[in-house]
A = this chain, B = another copy of it.
Amino acid sequence: MSKGRVTVVDIARAAGVSKSTVSLVLQASPLVNEATRARVNAAIRDLGYVYNRGAANLRQSASSRIIGIVVNDLTNSFFAELAVGMDMVLQSAGYVQFLSNSAESLDRQRQVIASMREHGISGLILSPARGTEAADLKPLTASGVPVVAVVRNVVGAKVSTLFSDNHAGAKDAVRHLISLGHRRIAFLGGIANTTVFAERTQGWRDALAEAGLEAPEELAIASTAARAGGVAAVERALSLPVPPTAALCFNDAAAFGVCDGLRAKGKEPGHDFAVVGFDDVIEAETAVPALTTVSVDPQGMGRRAAQMLLKQINAGRVEPEAVVSSVRLVVRESCGAPRADGQRRISA
């Protein structure tokens, strides 16, 4: 049974028709008679036929219905949720995804993209590794494969982009902290020299300036975008001559780290120190204290990115668009503000 796979010719023979008819049945063509269709389908079932998509893709017109997805850190739940969102719309549109993790390695990313190209992907959604250049995507775009860059930018690349509104989100968050009475507000975590970091810190600076407050550079403490980075950053912040009383963190992972670091120093987040995150990962809501954060809705963003890509694929020609996904501040407990639903925590 397992020797020599079953092909259209085999089922054609079994059903007493030609391979062409079988092909029509496979494509659910209205041209074929109901009786024959039933006969062919029965043969397909009986022989355990498996459609060979590779063979079908050989004809130039056909598209592979494979979408490549490359993210820079799958262990960060933001990206995991992003991928899940994409999966939802791609799957229901009849595409399958080729998901890979570059783990911030440019080499790895190159390999993965090359491999996807060989497999004839119909499109690529990429959350680029740090340092990705336009040249890395050139071969892909040159051969007309639509690409959507999410989260991070690839300077000079002619691809569609979908970013969250980092500047506005950060500004809103800091405004909120100011409205709660804070005057010395830090920016903690994240990797300096990245676009996202620059945008978020600019939002922080602008909100402070707007309120006539200063934004001393020693209060913008970069480290890493992960939990451990938050711990380190808040430690540095608390050891300053005049420590801050509140912080906007680079992302939720860092914010959780900041909470950990505060507790390690005997301070309770949301009580003795206000903490605001960025991303609104799924744990933000159930954490204690629940994390006030700028919601970028990772799953929604994933869905949107997938939709942008599908639109380009269906349009047939590549016409890059740049979308900025709006964000909104979700006030929970970690900033010490009273909650909308009446529950409250005491503010510092």
Contact = CB atoms under 8 A, between A and B. Distances in A.
Contacts of A4: 60
A59 to B, nearest CB: 11
A88 to B, nearest CB: 9
A234 B46 CA distance: 53
Contact of A142 (B2, B112, B115, B142): B2
Interface string A280-300: 001100111000000000000
Contacts of A48: 139, 142-143
Contacts of A115: 96
A91 B1 CA distance: 31
Contact of A100 (B1, B55, B96, B116): B96
B99 A99 contact: yes
A333 to B, nearest CB: 10
A74 B91 CA distance: 15
Interface residues of A, number: 60
B74 A64 contact: no
A119 to B, nearest CB: 5
Interface string A140-165: 00111000000000000000000000
A318 to B, nearest CB: 10
A48 B114 CA distance: 12
Contacts of A344: none
Interface in A286-329: 286-288
A83 B101 contact: yes
A75 B77 contact: yes
A83 B90 CA distance: 20
A2 B288 contact: no
Interface string A242-273: 00000000000000110111011000000000
Interface string A208-226: 0000000000000000000
A264 to B, nearest CB: 6
Contacts of A256: 283, 287
A53 interface: yes
A119 B96 CA distance: 10
A97 B100 contact: yes
A287 B226 CA distance: 12
Interface of A: 1-2, 4-5, 48, 50-55, 57-58, 60, 64, 66, 74-75, 77, 80-81, 83-84, 87, 91, 96-101, 103, 108, 111-112, 115-120, 139, 142-144, 227-228, 231, 256-257, 259-261, 263-264, 282-283, 286-288
29 contacts: A2-B142, A5-B60, A51-B118, A52-B118, A53-B118, A54-B54, A54-B55, A54-B64, A54-B119, A54-B120, A58-B58, A74-B83, A74-B84, A75-B80, A75-B282, A77-B80, A84-B101, A84-B103, A96-B119, A97-B98, A97-B99, A98-B99, A227-B286, A231-B286, A256-B287, A257-B286, A261-B288, A263-B288, A264-B288
Given A53-B118, A54-B120, A96-B112, 17 more contacts: A2-B142, A2-B144, A53-B119, A53-B120, A54-B55, A54-B64, A75-B81, A75-B282, A80-B80, A84-B103, A87-B100, A91-B111, A98-B99, A99-B100, A231-B286, A256-B283, A260-B287
